[in-house]
């Protein structure tokens, strides 16, 4: 894509994610089912955190495009490095994980991840904006331009650290409230829950590797030399 076209796309994507994040975080308190929105509010859900992540990523991407357009190449190089790190380590694997894991569990038993009581609170379009559209956006970003992936060890350490922080946040909420972020977690014994978290980490790592594979398959090695 031309830089001006990329700038327009990244700007629109940023506005979209900002709007979706704003919409979900400004649901009226009195409309929220008390058994769902307890301690931590919406900020305990990976879906909502992912919306903020995507908004930050597309904001950084738009900034990189603008700097390239105005020929501030030294500044642009630094911002592009941040953009690529955000996309490779977090934006692509997390959005892919959110979409696939949500709809897999929703199809199996929606009460485990998205209780029916939420249908009267969260509009259908917002549900799909949070859980469906994130994957096409991530794939479109790979098609739009190449991204430089970090060394595999560095990328996996960063991804694992962020996963550890989120799991710690989930466990902290449980210790403070006695309620799990997702009803699914209540089905597991402590060893089973540890295995579930380990399996989820393995899946998100596979999405990281998949993103890197797609990036290289589409753009080749020459774009990164």
Average pLDDT over residues 27-54: 74
| Predicted local distance difference test score (pLDDT) of residue 56 | 97
Instruction: Give Cα 188 to chain centroid, integer Å.
Output: 25
Q: What is the pTM of this model?
A: 0.91
Is the pLDDT at 46 greater than 90, yes or no? yes
| Predicted local distance difference test score (pLDDT) of residue 225 | 41
Q: What is the mean pLDDT of the chain?
A: 90
In a domain, residue 202? The reply is: yes
Instruction: Report the first-to-last Cα separation within the chain, whole angstroms.
Output: 19
Average pLDDT over residues 31-41: 57
Taking only the tens place, the pLDDT of each residue in 48-78 is 999 999 999 999 999 999 998 887 777 888 9
In a domain, residue 148? The reply is: yes
In a domain, residue 138? The reply is: yes
Taking only the tens place, the pLDDT of each residue in 161-175 is 999 999 999 999 999
Taking only the tens place, the pLDDT of each residue in 70-123 is 877 778 889 999 999 999 999 999 999 999 999 999 999 999 889 888 888 889
| Cα angle value 93/94/95 (rounded, 5°) | 95
Taking only the tens place, the pLDDT of each residue in 135-145 is 999 999 999 99
Is the pLDDT at 28 greater than 70, yes or no? no
Closest by Cα among 222, 195, 205 to 162? 205
| Predicted local distance difference test score (pLDDT) of residue 135 | 97
| Total domains present in the chain | 1
What is the Cα gyration radius of the chain? 18
Average pLDDT over residues 198-208: 96
In a domain, residue 33? The reply is: no
Rounded CA separation 198/196 (Å) = 5
CB 150 within 8 A of CB 88: yes
Is the pLDDT at 36 greater than 60, yes or no? no
CB 98 within 8 A of CB 134: yes
| Predicted local distance difference test score (pLDDT) of residue 42 | 82
Looking at per-residue pLDDT, the higher value among 29 and 25 belongs to: 25
In a domain, residue 66? The reply is: yes
Rounded CA separation 215/211 (Å) = 6
Rounded CA separation 57/10 (Å) = 9
Is the pLDDT at 205 greater than 70, yes or no? yes
Average pLDDT over residues 137-159: 95
Domain that holds residue 94: 5-24+40-219
Closest by Cα among 102, 119, 92 to 215? 92
| Predicted local distance difference test score (pLDDT) of residue 71 | 79
Is the pLDDT at 38 greater than 80, yes or no? no
Q: What percent of the chain stands above pLDDT 70? A: 92
Torsion angles phi and psi, residue 169, rounded to 5: -65, -45
Rounded CA separation 203/209 (Å) = 10
In a domain, residue 153? The reply is: yes
Looking at per-residue pLDDT, the higher value among 25 and 1 belongs to: 25
In a domain, residue 224? The reply is: no
In a domain, residue 34? The reply is: no
């Amino acid at each position: 894509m031309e830089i001006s076209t990329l700038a327009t796309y990244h700007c629109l994507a940023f506005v979209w994610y900002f709007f979706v994040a704003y919409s979900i975080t400004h649901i009226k308190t009195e409309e929220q089912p008390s058994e769902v929105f307890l301690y931590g509010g919406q900020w305990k859900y990976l879906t909502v955190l992912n919306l903020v992540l995507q908004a930050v990523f597309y904001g950084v991407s738009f900034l990189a495009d603008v700097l390239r357009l105005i020929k501030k190449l030294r500044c642009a190089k630094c911002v592009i490095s941040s953009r690529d790190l955000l996309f490779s380590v977090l934006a692509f694997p997390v959005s892919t994980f959110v979409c696939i894991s949500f709809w897999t569990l929703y199809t199996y038993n929606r009460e485990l991840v998205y209780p029916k009581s939420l249908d009267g609170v969260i509009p259908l379009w917002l549900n799909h904006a949070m859980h469906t559209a994130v994957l096409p956006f991530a794939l479109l970003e790979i098609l739009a331009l190449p991204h430089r992936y970090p060394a595999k060890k560095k990328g996996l350490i960063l991804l694992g650290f962020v996963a550890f922080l989120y799991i710690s946040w989930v466990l902290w909420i449980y210790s403070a409230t006695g309620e799990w972020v997702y009803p699914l977690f209540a089905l597991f014994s402590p060893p089973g829950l540890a295995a579930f978290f380990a399996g989820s980490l393995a899946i998100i790592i596979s999405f990281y590797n998949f993103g890197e594979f797609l990036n290289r398959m589409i753009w080749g090695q020459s774009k990164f030399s």
